[in-house]
Amino acid sequence: MSEVAIYTIVGLLVAAALSAILMLFQRRKPDEAWEGTVVGIQPFTKTDQEGDELAYVRITFRLNDSSERTLTLSEYDFQKLFPPLRIGERLIKKPGETLPTRIPPAE
């Protein structure tokens, strides 16, 4: 086997291992449950490999135990799931669901 082929195989194995590690850290946890209050809503853009700008929204919320988490959604998904979400609103993530939902305000 040539040296180039060996480097190619090693490179592919390293890339596969890094991808697996990143997937473990970034995957959503469907069995997890929590409640929190929205403390920040930050729109931002990213440029993809083709030079197109993609719009996203990062939602920061404080859980009942005072820790903070973020959720990043495309602007389209944000508008579809949470129109119009405001700071101070409460969210709940139930076991088995991948995304949180609003907690209706108490009347």
Instruction: Look at residue 15 and tell me if it is in a domain.
Output: yes
Instruction: Look at residue 81 and tell me if it is in a domain.
Output: yes
pLDDT of residue 52: 87
| Shared domain check, 72 and 39 | yes
Confidence class for position 55, pLDDT limits 50, 70, 90: very high
What is the pTM assigned to this prediction? 0.66
- Counting DSSP H helices and E strands in the chain, the numbers are 2, 5
| Shared domain check, 68 and 24 | no
The identity of residue 7, as a single letter, is Y
Contact 36, 62 (CB under 8 A): yes
Q: Which residues pair with 74 in a beta bridge?
A: 56
| Shared domain check, 23 and 43 | no
Q: What Å distances lie between residue 36 and 53, 64, 87, CA to CA?
A: 30, 6, 11
Least confident of 28-37, 60-69, 73-82: 28-37
Contact 30, 98 (CB under 8 A): yes
Domain interval for residue 6: 1-29
| Shared domain check, 83 and 53 | yes
Q: What pLDDT digit, counting tens, does each position of 65-103 carry? A: 999 999 899 999 999 888 889 999 999 999 988 888 898
Q: What Å distances lie between residue 15 and 11, 21, 105, CA to CA?
A: 6, 10, 47
Instruction: Look at residue 107 and tell me if it is in a domain.
Output: no
Helix ranges (H only) for 1-107 are 3-26, 75-81
| Shared domain check, 72 and 42 | yes
pLDDT of residue 86: 92
Domain count, the chain: 2
Instruction: Look at residue 58 and tell me if it is in a domain.
Output: yes
**CATH number of the domain to which 63 belongs:** 2.40.50.660
Give me the percent of the chain exceeding a pLDDT of 90.
36
